[in-house]
Amino acid sequence: MYQRIARKKYIIKALDIETHNDTESLAKGETSMWLGCYIDENSKVEEETSYFYSMNELIDILERDTNPKRSKNKNESRPVKNIAIYIYNLSFEFSFLLPALFERGFTFKEHIEKEDEYVFNSVSTKSVSSVWQVSIKFKRSGGMVLLRDLSKMYGGGLGKVAKAFGLETQKGEIDYRKNRLHDYVITKEEKEYCFNDTRILMEILMKMDEKNDKDFWNAVSMASYSMRKLLKRGWPRKLKPYKEFRTLYPELDEKETEFLRHSVGGGITYAPSRFQFKELNVPVAHIDLHQAHPSSAFLNQFPYDRGEYFVGKPLMGRICCCHIRISYDYVRLHSIIKLIGLPFVEDRELWVWDFEIPVMEECYENLTIEYIDGYAYKMRPLKWKRYYADNYNYRLEAKERGDAFNTLYYKLLNNSSYGKLLEKPHNYIFANTIRDDGIIDSLIEEKEEKEINARYTYLPVGSCIPAYTRCVLIRGALKLGYENIVYFDTDSIFFIWNEKTKKIWEEEFDHNDWLGGWGEEDPFILDRSQFTAPKRYKFEGKGKTTIKAGGINFDEYIKRVHKAEFDAIYDPSEMTEKEAISKIEIPFDEINITNNAFKVQRAFRCKGGTLIDFQDKEMKIQEKYIGIYEKNKVE
């Protein structure tokens, strides 16, 4: 399988490795790989060429493949010497590969040129906890190796993505705690397991190959992929849509950019103080705004061009980002993220959009506003607004015909783009290195020319989209009565279900399955619930308990506390551990989600690569909520 990436032809391959994670390796704080799989669409599970057993062996294979011998037959075309290898969670594999590259004499070079030899660079974070792409060049006359992270395109875990693509996932799993350090003979079953995991990656790539979409292969994340497609939809008859984008949405100067950064916020996620920490034994309904940010982008007017600076009140007939100073005495609901947890304020500075102010006036009692200054913009619908509608329609059609892949694909396209409008410039080079203790890290180098914007940055639109979403969410909550609102979660509302709220929900909300419409979550009515912190809650509905605790999964807890039930369910030949765990329900009263500690898996860097072990993760009550906790726990 071949694709063109930045005009060069690449062979497309997939790679996965298995690594030492036994108690001996954990005790030593050192690891390495013991099996790897490197395949294309034609590779077979029984072929020894599908496997490698060390990073040095992989480097030898890559050097050979980027320097293919040309056939003596003049009629045969020149062999392709560039290779793009897709990996799921590249930062893990790269932590094993980087030490071997340095041992082989490779050096980091920001810009790799044709004459370079034995150099590499990467698009990564400073700690290399996240890696989007690695470029490796061997011989001067050879090709380029690109390592890409498929999880940056399709996140959520390989198993879930495979199911969405309609791919068969394998049963059972490798024993990751087994000691394979000393003269271990790899079994046929272990090779098959590694191959099957890698084959899932390859089949995802084959499905994307069928779409014949060059934008996918030229993007390193779903966000950049979506932006490429979005601009083409906005300017379908232009050869250079990016140039048209920058004409209408130009790069802003440092002063305006710094001002607008203050206005950037995410989604409203909090429990109002009247219900926070309480166990609710009354019916609570859970509703959801369909594709909240795409809806906001499709339905509203947005800034364009450069802003006009003003002092005092916002200008009429413009959309304005306002620097204000506020005071209030009481909160009905919080519409501003920076005010959450503050029951009253005096002379607090904020940066908000003018359309947020009427919502604030409904939320904060005795609100006083002093207008300081701001930027005013001309406004119009987004040039690419139909992109969101098209994707929503395609998703509905895919859902109707049972096409799980395209249902996921079009949802991701819609949800992924807006963040690129907020992206900060990349003014530092993270030159990957190995510390004295053998752990992967980066040296930080400042770029000679500092930029104010990244490629797609336009803060007025990027900041407005979530602000519009917050306004829609809060207005919906105010309709239902602020006294009935139990919890917000970015695009959904939990509220007390009674005759009044039932009537409002049925008569005053848009129930269309379309942008701007609302839907009932499953389960819709919760019998019992508790909301203690952002992304931390539990509820019972339809006879089933659901527990959410951001950053914590309960896999280890279930295997330990519900061991007998787990052992009775788990059959390695029929299912994975995850599938067995998902069949076990933790009772509502068993888990304390207020202040508790659980063992969770975490990856940590060590000499040679990455180890995975359990650590205690604590749930704590934030200091600003202690007063609410003390009040509500005794009521």
Distance CA 384, CA 387 (A): 6
- Residue 9: count of CB within 10 angstroms of its CB: 13
Q: What is the 3-state secondary structure (H, E, C) of 305-340?
A: EEEEEEECCCCCCCEEEEEEEEEECEECCCCCHHHC
Decide if 81 contacts 68 (C-beta within 8 A).
Answer: yes
SS3 527: coil
**Residues in the chain, pLDDT under 50:** 635
Portion of the chain with pLDDT greater than 70, in percent: 98
Decide if 288 contacts 511 (C-beta within 8 A).
Answer: no
- Residue 199: count of CB within 10 angstroms of its CB: 23
Give me the long-range contacts of 130-139 (CB less than 8 A, separation at least 24). 130/91, 131/90, 131/91, 131/94, 132/90, 132/220, 132/221, 133/90, 133/220, 134/90, 134/94, 134/97, 136/62, 136/101, 136/106, 137/112, 138/62, 138/63, 138/66, 138/67, 139/63, 139/66, 139/67
Decide if 510 contacts 517 (C-beta within 8 A).
Answer: yes
Distance CA 58, CA 51 (A): 9
Q: List, in sequence order, every residue forming a beta bridge with 365; answer none if it has no partner.
A: 330
* Beta-strand runs (E) in 357-514: 364-365, 368-381, 428-434, 440-446, 485-489, 492-496
So what's the pLDDT on residue 293? 97
Decide if 519 contacts 287 (C-beta within 8 A).
Answer: yes
Domains of the chain from N-terminus onward = 2-220 (3.30.420.10)
* Amino acid at the residue 579: E
Decide if 530 contacts 538 (C-beta within 8 A).
Answer: yes
Paired tokens of 413: 């396209």
Paired tokens of 285: 């309904």
Decide if 377 contacts 493 (C-beta within 8 A).
Answer: no
Distance CA 526, CA 523 (A): 7
Decide if 462 contacts 230 (C-beta within 8 A).
Answer: no
So what's the pLDDT on residue 77? 72
Look-up of token digits 């947020």: 356
Of residues 377, 335, 339, the one with CA closest to residue 356: 335
Decide if 212 contacts 51 (C-beta within 8 A).
Answer: no
Q: For 51-70, b where at least 16 C-beta lie within 10 A, e where not — what string?
A: bbebbeebbeebbebbeeee
- Residue 411: count of CB within 10 angstroms of its CB: 19
Of residues 451, 383, 452, the one with CA closest to residue 417: 383
Paired tokens of 591: 């888990």
The DSSP element (H or E) to which 609 belongs, if any, is strand 609-619
Distance CA 266, CA 143 (A): 42
The DSSP element (H or E) to which 533 belongs, if any, is strand 528-533
CA dihedral 412, 413, 415, 420 (to 10 degrees): 120
Residues 6+ away with beta carbon under 8 Å from 255: none
Task: Please give the C-alpha separations between residue 589 and each of 532, 536, 549, 561, 565, in angstroms, as whole numbers.
Answer: 14, 15, 15, 14, 18
Task: Please give the C-alpha separations between residue 523 and each of 16, 148, 377, in angstroms, as whole numbers.
Answer: 38, 38, 43
Q: What's the pTM value of the predicted model, to 2 decimals?
A: 0.93
Distance CA 385, CA 369 (A): 33
Task: Please give the C-alpha separations between residue 156 and each of 89, 162, 181, in angstroms, as whole numbers.
Answer: 11, 10, 31
SS3 544: strand
CA dihedral 239, 243, 248, 253 (to 10 degrees): 170
So what's the pLDDT on residue 70? 73
**Sign of the dihedral through C-alpha 342, 348, 351, 352:** positive
So what's the pLDDT on residue 509? 98
**What are phi and psi for residue 355, nearest 5 degrees?**
-75, -10
So what's the pLDDT on residue 620? 87
